Structures are given as structure tokens and as C-alpha cells.
Structure 1
Amino acid sequence: MGPQSGTSKKQTKNAKMAAARQRVAEQREREAKAARRRSIIIGSTAALVAGGVIAGLAAVVLTEDDKGGSSGGSIVANVKPAGSNGGSPIQGVTAWVAEQGHEPNKSITYEQVPPVGGEHHPTWLNCGIYSKPVPQKNAVHSLEHGAVWITYSPTLPADQLEKLKAFAKQDYMLLSPHEGMSSPITLSSWALQLKVDNADDPRIKTYIDTYRNNKDTTPEYGASCSGGTGKPE
């Protein structure tokens, strides 16, 4: 039973990774199509400027982006406690089992604060440093792509924030304020999370080094953390 069970688990993991690679390939194709659409829109916009109707187009595009397709009801993200630390070598890490999936037309509630995974918006949040709270359902998609998301209490002292910004000046990093957390600082990656009390905690660097764009814990390893939505500093 032991060897067979181990083989079965390995096959299941391999199947999941193969499915993730397929999703990445499909995502890259969608990115390419989106880039082509943007080129068409830019060309159309130039023509509309000449015709004096750019204001109307801008209003349509802005309205669509702002609504975010939230008119299709609501769901609670399917994220359950793993009952362990996910095999993490870092003390204090909590693990979950998080469902993947895109929900463009629904409002999504996340029971974890901040979220660690679950269903999310099809468009990911561009990695970088944000001075205001960011859309959670876009940030979760970035976690799926391998980002580590550092969130901090809005009351965090300025010197502490500067230290976090230094950590966030890397690829596949998100930094933003977040209300309602149980600790001043939280580090999240897909289905994993670490809460710390201050920016001097050595586990911050260890967590980032361990989980940032980690091919073993990133569901869609190799997917981009740019070309999505959001304008970081």
C-alpha cells in the first residue's frame, strides 16, 4: 500500500503540474491576443481623436474596466486549511488548499485576510509597489503566477515601510497596504502565508527567497507578473 500510495500521489502531482503548464501556455496565447487587441484599440483611438469622439471611447473603456464584471452574483473563494504548514522550513507559516479558477463576472469574498488563493479575476495585478489597497481578486491571480504579496497595516511606521519597499524591488513582488489584518505585516504566496510583527524579522527575507516564483509551489510557474492591470509606483 505504501509504495502504491506514493506512486499515486506522484502521478496526481504530475497531472496537476501538466495541467498548470497547459494553463500557462493558454494564458500566454491570451496575452498575445490582448496585445494585438491593444494595438488595434490604439490605432482606432488615434482615428477617433481626429474625428473628435475620443471622449466617448474613453468613457466606454473606463466604465468596463471599473465595473470589473461584478454583475454575475457572488461566491466565497474555495480555500480550506491544509492542517499543516505545507512542509515549509519557515517557522510560523500556515498552509491552505486553494482552488484555482477564473470568475470574471462574480464578486469574490475571501475568508483569509489577506487572501492566499482561490478563484480570482482572469486579469492579474501587475507586480510592484502600491501605496493604496489593491483589488484582491487580481492580486490572487498574481499569487498564482508566483508573486509574493507583502501587505502591511496602514498605521505601519514609515521606517518599517521603507524596509518593506526594499524587499519589494524585485520581480514577482507585490507590496500594498491592507485593512483588517491580525498582524502589522503579512507575506502571502499561493496557499501559504506568514504573519510577522515588524520589518526586521529575518523570516521575511527567507520567505521571499523560498517562495518567490518557486516552481514547486507556483501553480502557473512561468506566467507573467506584468502586462496585467494596475499601475505600481
Structure 2
Amino acid sequence: MVDLRINMTVTCPKCEYQRTTEDDDIFPDWQCPKCEIAYNKFKSLEQGIGEAINTKNKAQPKSPSRSNKAFKQNKNLLPTIPKGRKKFIEESLSKDENIEHLFEFNWVVKVPMYISIFLSFIFLCITLLAVVLIGRSQDILMWGFFCTFFIGVATYEYFRLKSLEMGATNKRLIVKTGIVSRHTEEMRIAAIETIELNQGVVDRLLGMGTIKVSGVGVSTLKFSKIDAPLEVKKKIESIRAQFI
């Protein structure tokens, strides 16, 4: 009897065993003679596992390592680098209190500081010329004293203006003075009765003025030599309108 079977080499997908014609007489064509696993079943199982792994990788992002988790957990314990010195008004905010506006002084209040800087430079130049040309100790001491005096005045004015703070929050008005010590004047927005604007001819030409806020009783609060006083008055009135 003639064997009409076609000699086709089949490789097992699991153990890579190549099937022979002699194996066809003993094992069925769907089973591996060596590991005895069904070809189609193994391929389907392998394909299903691969798809499940791909789906899981897409659905779930890669979890961070232990070191990253530890860093995130201890992130709040690391020291923070300050971006700059905070103002007193920012430091004194209470719960649910926000800064509405910070008022600025007019440029006129800086004139004494600029004059002192200019005069100190002039006396410094005179002192150096006295040292080089004259050489008399009395003249050097006199011009040096004036130079030191105006440098001190300019330094004091700089820190005095830097320490002055005026502003309004959604709960109160604040005026803070003092270079080293602190002195504050505050008024609750809900206690405001009247807001007055005092601006003379010169003040109007220079764009400055004084805002006088009167509260319940005899309490008053002044914002002196403030820049754009009319805008400041409107801002305070808009904040006060929320409590009416």
C-alpha cells in the first residue's frame, strides 16, 4: 500500500521538537511527541497571556521605585529655600484672610534719601581732595564728618521707608512702622464709617495725598503721602461694600 502522506516538518512551539513521519503513526497530528502538549492550545494560551500583559502595562503605569517613594514621603521634611523676606502684612494674615491691595508711597518721600546720598558723595569727593591737595587734618576731619553724617541719614531713610507697610486685606486695614521694633495701627473693614481724601494743590500736582479712615467711636487711620490716593480710596470702598 502506497503512503500518500506528505512529509511536513512540524516544530513544537513549546519544546521546539521537530515532528517526523514516524511520530504520526504513534501520536496524533495535534500533539507533540516529546512534551505531549497540544499545539493549538499552547499557542492560544501563549497569545492570551501576551495580550493580558500588554493590557496590564497600558492600564497601570510603572510604579515608582522605593527610593522615589521614600523621597516623596520625606519631601515635606526637607528645608525650603526662602524666595525672599516676607512683608509683615503677609506674615500676620489670619485664617481665610487675603491681601486685597498693598499701598505705595509717592516718590516724594524718597527725595530726602536721594539728597543725602548726593551730599554724602559731594563731601566724600571734597574729603579725598583735602587729603591729596591740602593734607591738613582739621579740614579732613570736618569734611569727613559731613560725609559720614549724610551717609548715616541716607541709610536711616532707606531702612525707614523699607520698613513702612500699608495695605488692605479682606478683613482689615493695616499700617506698620518701625525698623527694628514694630508698631501697627489696624482697623476692621466692618468698623469703617467714613473714608476721607485730603489732597492739596501741590499734592494733586505731584500725584499724592492722604487717606483718613474713621471707624466706630473715635478711632482713625491715616495713609499719608500715598501714591494715587483716589484709586486707594476706591479700593477701600469696594472692600467695605462687601460688609454692607
- Which structure carries more helix by proportion? 2
TM-score class, shorter-chain normalisation, is under 0.3
- Which structure carries more strand by proportion? 2
Query: Looking at both structures, which has the greater relative contact order when contacts are Cα pairs under 8 Å and sequence separation is at least 6?
Result: 1
Greater gyration radius = 2
